[in-house]
Amino acid sequence: MALLEVRDLSVVFKRKGEEPFTAVDGVSFDVEPGQTVGLVGESGCGKSVTSMAIMGLLAKRGVKVSGSAKFDGTELLTLSDKQMRDRRGQELGMVFQDPLSSLNPVISIGLQVAEVIERHRGLSRKEASVQAAELLDKVGIPDPKRRLSEYPHQLSGGMRQRALIAIALACRPRLLIADEPTTALDVTIQAQILALLAELVKETDTALIMITHDLGVVAGLCDEVNVLYGGRVVERAGRHDLFRVPRHPYTHGLLASIPRLDAPRGERLSPIRGSVADNIPWTQGCAFAPRCPNAIDTCVEVTPAMEPDPVVAGERLLRCHNPVEPADRVEQEILT
Amino acid sequence: MTQVTTSTLVEVEGMKVHFPIKRGVVLDKTVGYVYAVDGVDLSIRQGETYGLVGESGCGKSTLGRAMLKLTEPTAGKVVFDGVDLSSMKGEPLRTMRRRMQMVFQDPMSSLDPRQSVESLLVEGMRAHGLDKGKESTGRRLRELLSAVGLPSTSLRKYPHEFSGGQRQRIGIARALSVEPDLIVADEPVSALDVSVQAQVINLLEDLQTEFGLTYLVIAHDLAVVRHISDRVGVMYLGGLVEEANSDQIYTEPLHPYTKALMSAVPVPDPVVEDVRERILLAGDLPSPANPPTGCRFHTRCPWRQESRCDTERPALRELAPGHKVACHWAEDIRDGRIRAHEVKPQLTQDDWDTGADDNSLAGPASVTETLGP
Ligand SMILES: Nc1ncnc2c1ncn2[C@@H]1O[C@H](COP(=O)(O)OP(=O)(O)OP(=O)(O)O)[C@@H](O)[C@H]1O
Ligand SMILES: Nc1ncnc2c1ncn2[C@@H]1O[C@H](COP(=O)(O)OP(=O)(O)O)[C@@H](O)[C@H]1O
Ligand code: SF4
Ligand code: SF4
Ligand SMILES: [Mg+2]
Ligand SMILES: [Mg+2]
């Protein structure tokens, strides 16, 4: 049994007078201790809603969550608010894209970290403060003792994100969900934060769910990658397999449309045509069909299921009637 | 990538833009300056794409705006097609402006939501006397839409009826409507989804070929900038630190900051990521209101030397043909005579008036390290 087992997770939003909207549609994945699992996809594909559902952070009204999310054998989706809050501080940590909105603006950074330590480890305020300074130091905040008394608005974006990571770590979570933790940061600061997260996973055996739209970040950090499209996972594979032989037309299209830093100048990009506005409902076939260069008749008649890749070896699951053929010799090597 | 000629279209000399920091009840006291752009020389050739890259707040947008005289420079001059814009005002400047257009990052906030696409596009043409009768304007509008890949039914629609990528196409059509020579595109794709970014990048390339445009593309994403540009300028805290052609900047970055920036850009390929050397910079970008002395990068530079770095500001100088760098020690670094060392992160003073505190160097152990194989 994995540390976190998500099965068939669905989230439907229903506002008065509007059609119900399915943001997450039967998502399943596992996370083991010390493993980094990526959820990747474009804006609106359901990454954040997935993580908020697991963490019990979605509003109760107008939202229907179904399926299962078991943490160490315990079903999270049916826990009471209070039980969930306790776990969130203790075993489950979360880091968001915008650290300013998740830090309390009128409480000093030191106190925010110390409070968490106090609450979860039963230490005195004084002991907790010492530990808080140690934690800030560990996440790379210069002069941590002085920073303890500063307020969130006095820190730069990168420092705030470090503070938030320090708070998430204060309770020594066994699972950390990082939702676009570096998207708002400059690339040199992003590199610092990613190195910090990688080190933590390695040192403390924390399980990490890394949510990002950046395939470059995924390539460097995640052991296993789930590619989401329109609320469903469409391809899952280990990072080397996924990038070496992207089989789903959407994954393939994404990779072909990103300018790579190391690509020779002048190579033309191959964009995916249209936009997510062109999607058809999953109930009518494959949501990606209107944009898919591989689409065949079946695609708008039968909804593809998530199945093991019939051609390429390795632990890969695919939701596609007509996957991209592995092209060149390198790719042939890993064929069965 | 049209025919890049050797003739210069835009020449920027000694450009400075300092924004006063005002305090007092009626903001009547100037207590300091934000040195947003602080001495930049660059020239853009007819038909080329010049890419300006750097991190948030380093002055890219301000430089772009000052080049078009949308922001009044504190010092320096801009020569556009042989004409000095510095002293230009009123009607002559307005006429000149037709030839230089801007495309913005967020198409939603740069397009008036109450105007239809038709009215958005005609507006500029009318202002510059290019609206010469219903029929020819109608033809021109259809041409513009087809050039940017929008259906002709778009004319009666409003910006909110379009997706982000389509709105960016409207912004581009609007810039094109007045037949400019130069387009300054400030983060033209960073608000777009990955799959749509490529559509807009390809469109910009096609339009350049078709209309012989010259581009200044401003972006924080070095991979995008490298892809689209003939030449690249790297900015750090208000100054250019390196300039080279798109291949040179990747194969042989000379400035320590360029090296660090390059090494930090993730590449969507695990094989590459696993063996890459990463130069992690210590600490944050210093505030442009309180830039470090000497070389502005010296507080974070892993190659910093005891002499010159913190006292003398390095000038941009040409090390190889077309390859300029602003570092005192560039040759020694290139030839391996100087090695990178550890850097302790320094507290950055976020504002001009927090400076009373000690600028203590006490920090954690270095985060500058090499994550090699
Ligand atoms: N009108 C203004 N008044 C005062 N300060 C300004 C003004 N415009 C810009 N600045 C400051 O000048 C500096 C450079 O800003 P600029 O917008 O040029 O940066 P940039 O490189 O385009 O950054 P980004 O990547 O975030 O767009 C910043 O510190 C900014 O806060
Ligand atoms: N509270 C909400 N009410 C209605 N729709 C929502 C709500 N939160 C998110 N959504 C919708 O759910 C979809 C997935 O959102 P999200 O998970 O935030 O995407 P992302 O993958 O960018 O994180 C989007 O279409 C979004 O508009
Ligand atoms: S199921 Fe069909 S439309 Fe969907 S991705 Fe596969 S080939 Fe394309
Ligand atoms: S001049 Fe000195 S501090 Fe500046 S980049 Fe060169 S070595 Fe580094
Ligand atoms: Mg999100
Ligand atoms: Mg800008």
- Give the whole-angstrom CA distance, residue B99 versus residue B178: 8
Percent of chain A predicted with pLDDT > 70: 97
Find chain B residues with C-beta within 8 A of A259's C-beta.
198, 201, 223-224, 226-228
pLDDT at B79 over 90: yes
Q: Which of B281, B285, B363 sits opposite A143 (nearest CB)?
A: B363
| CB-based contact A160:B356 (threshold 8 Å) | no
pLDDT at B74 over 60: yes
pLDDT at B5 over 70: no
**Interface A-B: count of C-beta contacts within 8 A:** 167
DSSP labels for B239-285? EEEEEEEHHHHHH---SHHHHHHHHHS--S-HHHHHH---BPPPSPP
Name the residue among A229, A224, A201, A202 with its Cα closest to residue A213.
A229
pTM of the model: 0.88
pLDDT at B279 over 60: yes
Give the distance between the most distant pair of CA atoms in chain A. Answer: 68
The mean pLDDT of chain A is 90
The mean pLDDT of chain B is 87
Q: How many CB atoms lie within 10 A of CB A203?
A: 10
| For residues B7-20, average pLDDT | 95
Q: List the single range of A68-77, A112-121, A294-303, B291-300 with lowest mean pLDDT.
A: A112-121
**Which band of pLDDT confidence, cut at 50, 70 and 90, is reported for residue A56?**
very high
Percent of chain B predicted with pLDDT > 70: 91
Ligand 2 binding site (Cβ under 6 Å of any ligand atom): A 13, 21, 23, 41, 43-49
Q: Is A142's CB within 8 Å of B362's CB?
A: yes
Is ligand 1 within 6 A of the CB of residue B290?
no
Write the ipTM: 0.87
- Give the whole-angstrom CA distance, residue B345 versus residue B284: 8
Q: Which of B193, B350, B371 sits opposite A154 (nearest CB)?
A: B350
Give, in order, the Cα–Cα distances in Å from A95 to each of A27, A48, B146, B195. Answer: 21, 11, 44, 26
pLDDT at B373 over 70: no
Summarised one tens digit per residue, pLDDT across range A195-220 is: 989 998 999 999 999 999 999 999 99
Give, in order, the Cα–Cα distances in Å from B364 to each of A20, B312, B345, B367. Answer: 51, 28, 7, 8
Q: Is B220's CB within 8 Å of A187's CB?
A: yes
Q: Is B270's CB within 8 Å of A159's CB?
A: no
The alpha-carbon gap from A33 to the nearest alpha carbon of chain B, in Å, equals 21
Interface test with B, best of A143, A196, A243, A292 (most B CBs within 10 A): A143
| For residues B239-263, average pLDDT | 96
pLDDT at A105: 87
Find chain A residues with C-beta within 8 A of B347's C-beta.
142-143, 146
Closest CA in chain A for residue B2: A266
pLDDT at B135: 92
Residue B45, classed as helix, strand or coil, is strand
Residue B361, classed as helix, strand or coil, is coil
**Which band of pLDDT confidence, cut at 50, 70 and 90, is reported for residue B26?**
confident
Residue A259 contacts B where some CB pair is shorter than 8 Å: yes
3-class secondary structure per residue, chain A: CCCEEEEEEEEEECCCCCCCEEEEEEEEEEECCCCEEEEECCCCCCHHHHHHHHHCCCCCCCEEEEEEEEECCEECCCCCHHHHHHHHHHCEEEECCCHHHHCCCCCCHHHHHHHHHHHHHCCCHHHHHHHHHHHHHHCCCCCHHHHCCCCHHHCCHHHHHHHHHHHHHHCCCCEEEEECCCCCCCHHHHHHHHHHHHHHHHHHCCEEEEEECCHHHHHHHCCEEEEEECCEEEEEEEHHHHHHCCCCHHHHHHHHHCCCCCCCCCCCCCCCCCCHHHCCCHHHCCCCHHHCCCCCHHHHCCCCCCEECCCECCCCEECCCCCCCCCCHHHHHCEC
Closest ligand 1 atom to residue B37 Cα is 14
Q: List the single range of A93-107, B8-22, B301-315 with lowest mean pLDDT.
A: A93-107
Q: Is B163's CB within 8 Å of A213's CB?
A: no
The continuous run of DSSP H or E covering B104 comes out as none
Q: Is A42's CB within 8 Å of B193's CB?
A: yes
Find chain A residues with C-beta within 8 A of B51's C-beta.
none
pLDDT at B365: 26
| For residues B254-267, average pLDDT | 96
pLDDT at B194 over 90: no
Find chain B residues with C-beta within 8 A of A276's C-beta.
193
pLDDT at A54: 96
Nearest Cα residue to atom 3 of ligand 4:
B298
pLDDT at A332: 52
pLDDT at B25 over 90: no
Q: List the single range of A250-259, B183-192, B279-288, B301-310 with lowest mean pLDDT.
A: B279-288
| CB-based contact B187:B23 (threshold 8 Å) | no
- Give the whole-angstrom CA distance, residue A237 versus residue A244: 11
| For residues B107-115, average pLDDT | 83
Residue B312, classed as helix, strand or coil, is coil
HSE at residue B295, side-chain half, CA atoms within 13 A, is 28
Q: Which ligand is nearest to the CA of A97?
A: 5
Summarised one tens digit per residue, pLDDT across range A172-195 is: 899 999 999 888 788 988 998 899
pLDDT at A333: 53
Task: For a ligand 3 pocket test, name from A227, A294, A296, A300 the mutation site with the most ligand atoms within 8 angstroms of its C-beta.
Answer: A294
**Which band of pLDDT confidence, cut at 50, 70 and 90, is reported for residue A249?**
very high
Q: List the single range of A130-144, B51-65, B170-184 with lowest mean pLDDT.
A: A130-144
Query: Which tokens is A172 given?
Result: 């020594």
| CB-based contact B182:B213 (threshold 8 Å) | yes
